[in-house]
Structures are given as structure tokens and as C-alpha cells.
Amino acid sequence: MTLRHRERGWVGLVVILLALVIVALVAKTALKQYGLVDDPAKAQRATAAGATEAEQAAAVTPRNALERARGVEDMVKQGAAEQQKTIDDAISK
């Protein structure tokens, strides 16, 4: 009975480790699908000699979702600044 009691903690750690591995694999798959993690296999195919024009163009464009989001943020800020200037000019007249 004492041997069995001592092993329960060890088995619990193994179960927690297994659950952690499963969560990590699911997270990796989700990040790839959302485009937050670059897939090196796609990049190698795009730079190959026989790659199509679409694959080469996709390799040149920013593939990182964070970079795209920052670009959108910059465009919104620029548009807001232009709109503020237009409003200020209209009020001044």
C-alpha cells in the first residue's frame, strides 16, 4: 500500500506533462494557421528555382501578421492626422 501511495505523485506529474505537450502542439498549429509563425517549408519552396510567380510574390510580401498589423496601424494614424489637419483648417476659416 505504501509503494502505491508513493507512485501517485509521479503518475500525476506524467499526466500533467502529457497535457502540457498536447497544449503546446495545439498552440503551435493554431499559431501557424493564424499566420503568426512563419513556415520555413513554404519559404524554401518560394525561393526554389522552379517556383511560380505567385509563390515568389508571396515570399516577398510581409508574411508576419504583426508587421501587417503595424502597417495598418500606421495607415490609420496617418489618416487621422490628415483628417485632424483638414478639420483644423476648416475651423480656422
Model confidence pLDDT, tens digit, residues 6-35: 666 788 899 999 999 999 999 999 888 877
Helices and strands in the chain, H and E counts: 4, 0
Return the ∠ at Cα 33 (arms to 31 and 36), rounded to 5°: 45
pLDDT tens digits, one per residue of 29-75: 988 887 777 666 665 555 566 667 766 666 555 556 677 788 889 99
Q: How far apart are CA 42 and CA 11, in angstroms?
A: 40
